[in-house]
Amino acid sequence: MNSLGYAFATFCYLLVPAIAQGTNPEMLWADASNGRPFSKDPSVIRFGEAYLLYYSLPAEKGWTLGIARSTNLVHWEKVGVVQPTAGCEARGIAAPAAWVRQGRVHLFYQTYGNGPKDAICHAWSDDGLHFTRNPENPVFAPTGSWTSGRAIDAEVFPVGDRLFLWFATRDPAMKVQMQGVAAAPLDSDYGRAQWRQLVDGPVLKPELPWERKCIEAASVMKRDGKLWMFYAGGYNNEPQQIGVASSEDGIHWKRVSDQPLVPNGPPGSWNSSESGHPGVFVDADGTTHLFYQGNNDGGKTWYLSRLRIEWKEGLPVVVK
């Protein structure tokens, strides 16, 4: 980013309290390098002595993946961009899911702009900034009469000796978005031949009124022997809101409430249009942090924010 871009980004960051109109989240950040504050789909990891945030960033044509760095989970500085390559990535890449294993960052992300042919890709990095693509990309797309064959919004988490991959897909009519799951051996290269779809159908689909016709953006953690999925219900700005489900095996999920954990904000707030696309992060000290996206203008801009999650009587609650 040039000096003018950084100045604009800083200016937009300073405007945050005004945009919030009475609310002042500890973190409210957006990459303004393309002329407006616009960052989506957060995924946060701890890497070395700092934190890295991966996010979807629009480009002149299509989408790229931005990378920002922080030492306190509040203030972020852009440090890189993952540009799309030719082939399946030619129209863009988006919705990153970062995961660290044995000192290496694995990045799972989706292709963009290919409709029902969008699929999940994989890359890796030893510094968190420069990535090598899996030569078998795209590595996964679902099959079966229940799905259009599309896979977006990847999330990965180890379960036993396998790496589970949750993904969002649509029905054959491309109307209803739902969650599926696949797995690959943990000690594999995560290439195309390694993935096995675990269920011939969705593991979570929209059923509640606020979920409308969409469940997407799964983000998974483990606590007290259970897997916990934070997910987005509703398409962007319907509004999208964040719910929670739990599971013993990563396949069978049960909602913990019929109401969203993180609803969109009231009129005038920074996230009145939506609170969406969660990215849960558990720090080394065991604290739980929930990153998510929001806006108050129907999607003309997008900011990223963070909530602290505490656990009371075995359930997640937002720290006020």
Domain 3-318 has CATH 3.90.1150.10: no
Binned at pLDDT 50, 70 and 90, residue 165 comes out as very high
- Residue linked to tokens 């483990």: 222
15 pLDDT higher than 80 = no
Mean pLDDT (the chain) is: 93
DSSP state for residue 147 in the 8-state scheme? S
Residue 50, pLDDT score: 98
Using an 8 Å Cβ cutoff, are 220 and 166 in contact?
Answer: yes
40-75 confidence digits (pLDDT tens):
999 999 999 999 999 999 998 899 999 999 999 999
Tens of pLDDT, residues 207-220? 999 999 999 999 99
Largest CA distance in the chain: 52
From residue 202, alpha-carbon distances to 218, 249, 278 in Å are 13, 15, 19
Residue 226 to residues 15, 82, 115, 253, 315: CA-CA distances in angstroms? 40, 33, 34, 10, 11
DSSP state for residue 204 in the 8-state scheme? B
pLDDT above 50 for 5: no
In this predicted structure, what is the pLDDT of residue 110? 98
pLDDT in tens, 217-230: 999 999 999 999 99
Q: Is the pLDDT of residue 186 over 60?
A: yes
**pLDDT classification of 24: cutoffs 50, 70, 90:** confident
What pLDDT, on a 0 to 100 scale, did the predictor assign at position 64?
Answer: 98
Is residue 3 over pLDDT 80? no
pLDDT digit string (tens) for 111-142?
999 999 999 999 999 999 999 999 999 999 99
CA-based nearest residue to 72, from 95, 102, 49: 49
Q: Can you list the alpha helix ranges (DSSP code H) found in 38-94? A: none
Say whether pLDDT at 18 is over 50: no
Digit-coded pLDDT (tens) for 93-110: 999 999 999 999 999 999
Parallel, antiparallel, or unpaired: how do β-strands 241-247 and 226-233 relate? antiparallel
Give the three-class secondary structure for 11: helix
- Respond yes or no on whether the N-terminal peptide bond of residue 142 is cis (omega within 30° of 0): no
Q: Which pLDDT does position 23 carry in this prediction?
A: 63
pLDDT (0 to 100) of residue 91:
96
| pLDDT at 11 > cutoff 90 | no
Indicate the domain borders of the chain.
3-318
Burial track 305-315 (b if 16+ CB lie within 10 A, e otherwise): bbbebeeeeee
Predicted TM-score (pTM) of this structure: 0.93
DSSP H or E run through 157: strand 152-159
Q: What is the mean pLDDT of residues 77-91?
A: 97
The whole-number pLDDT of residue 289 equals 98
Residue 10 has pLDDT above 80, yes or no: no
